[in-house]
Structure 1
Amino acid sequence: MKGKEGESSEGIAWELRPGGMLVQTRSDAAGGPGGPLVKIRVSRGSCQHEVSIPSQTTFGELKKVLAPETGLEPQEQRLLFRGKEKDDDERLHMAGIKDMSKVVLLEDPASKERKLQQMKWDQGMLRACEAVALVRAEVDKLVVKVGGYPVILEICRLLFVF
């Protein structure tokens, strides 16, 4: 007989698995749905991060957890365990990660190159905006000098949107 949702009258919680099998819900003492928590030491250069995460988590999910701490988006991260890069869909416990295991985080070289290109492009845009500002200032000075010529003012307005 059912009492609360997912619980029988004896207090046992049940869950329906995707295959249609009805099984008893694991308690938190058993590690919860993601397995037992493992503490992972993640090193990135001279920075060290410690993350507690369920052992059945994937490396892709670990990257999402690390993103706010490291400032790197998940697609910019490369995680190495025992000297080998791990795929995003590989599970931690299947790779051999145990409590206090060490994982190395590297920034993807392609993302470094993209960031460098973006910085160069931004600097070029900044220089272009400064040049436009100088031209506008010069035009403003000329507009004051030729203030009596409305036709010239209209042409300047059309050429340089004020």
Structure 2
Amino acid sequence: MFSRGRGSDIGGHGNTNVAEWELRPGGMVVQKRNSDLNQNSASKFTIKVKVKYGSSYHQIQISSHASFGELKKMLTEPTGLHVQDQKLIYKKKERDSKSYLDVERVKDGSKLVLVVDIESRERRILETLKIAKEKTSKSLTEIKVEVDKLAKKVAALEAAASTGGVIAELDIETLTENLMRTLIALDEINGEGELKLQRREQVLSL
């Protein structure tokens, strides 16, 4: 009915590039399309795992070739847990995020347990606070430079006024706008301890 090409091996012998065939209506045998093969290949390696978190259970469909880190990313939305705050337990053993599901013998229907990694969460929160503090400190430094510039302009206008000099209305309006903009920037800064004191000093300077 059909001839076998050099690139195919219906019997499964010889050439390693094995072509798959299918029977179409009318009795015609044709080679399967690549899209069909890719779809079958993808579904072949897709598994469903059951993850217990607290009193809840989550069914996750994922590739068996995926890593535990990728599974954690998929669990972020349904659990509300940050990836770094997750600890996955499989067969009573914590699994590394870089390990792969198939390598650790996770199969279709396997059950895992998700718990909160307290130490990791604390480290992440501390790091977040540290970054926020550094950002606030940088903002205060920039505002202090701006306040010093404005203070010099105010002093110059006061000196001119005290000697009977003429002060342009535009200069006063511009200075007022800059002062208000700086006050708004200070109001948006939140800080504790030393940063709070620095913020207060700049507000009093204005």
Does residue 106 in structure 1 map to residue 113 in structure 2? no
Q: Summarize the alignment of residues 8-157 of structure 1 with structure 2, pairs less than 5 Å apart.
A: 8=21, 10-11=29-30, 13=32, 25=37, 28=40, 32-35=43-46, 37-43=47-53, 49-55=58-64, 57-67=66-76, 70=80, 72-73=82-83, 77-87=86-96, 88-92=98-102, 94-95=104-105, 97-99=107-109, 101-107=111-117, 109-110=119-120, 112-130=122-140, 132-134=142-144, 136-147=146-157
Q: Distance in 2 between matches of 1:42 and 1:92?
A: 19
Please give the per-residue CA displacement for 1:77-136, whole angstroms capped at 9, x wherever unaligned. Answer: 431123211233342585355527242143473464144133124224314523542452
Q: Partners of 2:154 and 2:38 in 1: how far apart?
A: 80
- Work out which structure has the larger RCO, using CA pairs closer than 8 Å and 6 or more positions apart in sequence: 1
Which 5+ residue runs of structure 2 have no aligned equivalent? 6-18, 22-27, 161-206
Contact 2:89 2:95 in 1 (8 A): yes
Q: Please give the root-mean-square deviation of Cα atoms over the aligned residues, in Å.
A: 4.3
- Give CA deviations for 1:8-44 in whole Å, capped at 9, x if unaligned: 46245388xxxxxxxxx5985x982305x3242242x
What TM-score, normalized by structure 1, do the two folds share?
A: 0.52
Q: Which amino acid aligns with 2:126?
A: L
Letter in 2 for 1:59: F
Contact 2:67 2:99 in 1 (8 A): yes
Percent of paired sites with the same residue: 19
Bigger share in helix: 2
Structure 1 unaligned runs (5+)?
16-24, 150-162
- Flag the 1:11–1:109 CA change in 2: closer, same or farther, 3 A: farther
- Per the normalisation by structure 2, the TM-score is 0.44
- Paired letter, 2:82: L
C-alpha distance in structure 2 between counterparts of 1:128 and 1:94, whole Å = 46
Greater strand proportion: 1
Distance 1:48 1:101 in 2: 10
The structure that has the greater radius of gyration is: 2
Contact 1:39–1:100 (CA under 8 A) maintained in structure 2: yes
